């Protein structure tokens, strides 16, 4: 049990994964009495008919329990998910940037692939001395088989992916 404000994005992602797999159930609990007291102070004034106050109190409690809390729980989970996904994308971007923007490696045959949907993927094989072995434009749906053929034909050691721009 932990306050929502203390849940870290990576913890929430792990909780969602475990919940999706059926390993656990995540619930947001709310102190209904505390919320009802706050609402009573804001909405209901003292005085008037006791039966009317009792009815209003019951209706307020029912509305909080049946409508407000489930709605607030969904909104909180949605906000947590959005924050967690944004954080995960920033981490992924930083990790990929470090990997994909490494300087060229010496002594290896490289297959460079620049993905493209509209005009096909540009592919080039370069030998360890930097000499171009082959260039091709391959449609995205044929990329896997053609790339495997080029890897086998030229003994490719490393595949470098471009960003498609």
Structure tokens at 99: 């990997």
When pLDDT is averaged across residues 17-26 and rounded to a whole number, the result is 91
Question: How far apart, in whole angstroms, are the C-alpha atoms of residue 97 and residue 90?
Answer: 10
**pLDDT value at residue 107:** 86
Which pTM does this prediction carry?
Answer: 0.54
pLDDT, tens only, 59-77: 888 998 999 999 999 999 9
**pLDDT value at residue 150:** 93
Task: Indicate the pLDDT class of residue 54, thresholds 50, 70 and 90.
Answer: confident
Range in 36-40, 107-111, 144-148, 157-161 the model is least confident about: 36-40
């Amino acid at each position: 049990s932990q306050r929502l404000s203390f849940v870290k994005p990576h913890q929430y992602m792990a909780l969602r994964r475990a919940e999706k797999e059926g390993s656990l159930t995540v619930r947001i609990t709310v102190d209904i009495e505390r919320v009802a007291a706050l609402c009573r102070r804001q909405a209901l004034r003292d005085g008037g008919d006791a039966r009317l106050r009792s009815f209003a109190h019951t209706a307020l409690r029912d509305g909080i329990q049946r409508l407000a809390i489930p709605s607030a729980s969904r909104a909180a989970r949605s906000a947590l998910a959005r924050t967690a996904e944004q954080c995960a994308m920033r981490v992924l971007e930083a990790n990929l940037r470090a990997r994909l923007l490494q300087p060229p490696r010496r002594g290896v045959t490289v297959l460079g692939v620049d993905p493209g949907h509209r005009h096909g993927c540009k592919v080039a094989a370069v030998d360890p001395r930097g000499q171009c072995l082959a260039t091709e434009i391959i449609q995205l749906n044929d990329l896997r088989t053609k790339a495997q053929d080029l890897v086998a034909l030229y003994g490719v050691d490393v595949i470098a992916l471009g960003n498609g721009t």
